[in-house]
A and B are shown apart, each in its own frame.
Chain A
Amino acid sequence: MEENTLVGLPLLGGKAPDFEAVTTQGTLRLSDFEGSWLVLFSHPADFTPVCTTEFMAFSEIYEELKKRNTELLGLSVDSVSSHIAWIRNVEEKMGVKIPFPIIADLNKEVSKKFGMIHPAQSKTETVRCVFIIDPESKVRTILYYPLTTGRNMKEILRIIDALQTTDKHKVATPANWNPGDPVVVPPPGTTEQAEERTKEGYDCKDWYLCFKKL
């Protein structure tokens, strides 16, 4: 009797599923990126307008990502030949070089592992997903954007800055945080700590909501 296995999609804090895929820069595995942060993102199709603006925008933040020890890896279900033709077209017509690899997920193996195909949007193309994966291959942020809405690069950079700040300083970041803004001190876990919290020199609105400058 065949065993039915329900495959869970990647969740925050869990290990990103490993894969081996053909890309425009050779065959790559997710594990090849261990030790770096990774922005794994999908786009619906090559030679389409919103995707082209996104690829140019990702290229514009490529150097900023490298400063943050972060690599970029794109994906669509198009072939390697299509990817190569498209990025050559973008360079020729728009003057923007695409420096990062793009997965050619023809058999949708990676797309399915990461839940990138949403049938109500498209049965064949991936939606605009972003998986931010840390150096230990843990999924730290997941974004899903519809086919019609291009992503915001400033937000992606901001999320990476926030996550790296959290990891380095063991703090949280409040709404609309940007580097240099006060960060949130983790809330106390005991009544004793709560009692002490407002005496610890932080900018406290109350015992559970305290800020500090890094």
Chain B
Amino acid sequence: MLQEAVIALPCVSPDGKPTKSGIAKLSALKSGASTPKAVADITGHPLFRVRSGLRELVNAGFVKQVDDKYQLTPEGDKLVP
């Protein structure tokens, strides 16, 4: 049986902690719920990377989506002073 490969994600490392790129996105959400476009404008990351990254952060429990905006969960808030 082949060993399952762990695919590394740009925003969440295999140990479940946010990467530098993930922290940048979390920091962009510190002041409140934002759209992906607003996060892209703050971080300077391409919009497609932001959309993908926010999905990863939602799956990891650091961000939640409310309608068309994203905001930090309590777990995510703890990570960005």
Contact = CB atoms under 8 A, between A and B. Distances in A.
Interface stretch (A28-36, A49-57, A109-117, A196-204): A28-36
B49 interface: yes
A36 B47 contact: yes
Interface range for B: 10 to 19
B8 to A, nearest CB: 9
- Name the residue in A22, A35, A80 with the highest tally of chain B Cβ atoms < 10 Å from its Cβ: A35
Contacts of A31: 51
A25 B7 CA distance: 11
A25 B51 contact: no
Interface residues of A, number: 13
Nearest to A30: B48
B26 to A, nearest CB: 16
Nearest to A23: B52
B53 to A, nearest CB: 7
Interface string B6-41: 010111000000000000000000000000010000
**Interface SS of B by simple majority:** helix
B10 A25 contact: yes
- Name the residue in A26, A28, A33, A35 with the highest tally of chain B Cβ atoms < 10 Å from its Cβ: A26
A141 B52 CA distance: 26
A20 to B, nearest CB: 10
B52 A28 contact: yes
Contacts of B77: none
A26 B49 contact: yes
Contacts of A33: 47-48
Contacts of B46: 71
A25 B47 contact: no
A33 B37 CA distance: 12
Contacts of A22: 7
Contacts of B10: 25-26
Contacts of A35: 37, 47
A72 to B, nearest CB: 11
A133 to B, nearest CB: 12
B52 A27 contact: yes
Interface of A: 22, 25-29, 31-33, 35-36, 71, 80
9 contacts: A25-B49, A26-B52, A26-B53, A27-B9, A27-B52, A29-B52, A32-B48, A71-B48, A80-B7
Nearest 3 A/B pairs, CB to CB: A32-B48, A26-B10, A32-B51
Interface of B: 7, 9-11, 37, 46-49, 51-53, 55-56
Given A26-B53, A31-B51, A36-B48, 16 more contacts: A22-B7, A25-B10, A25-B52, A26-B9, A27-B7, A27-B52, A28-B48, A28-B52, A32-B47, A32-B48, A32-B51, A33-B48, A35-B37, A71-B46, A71-B48, A80-B7
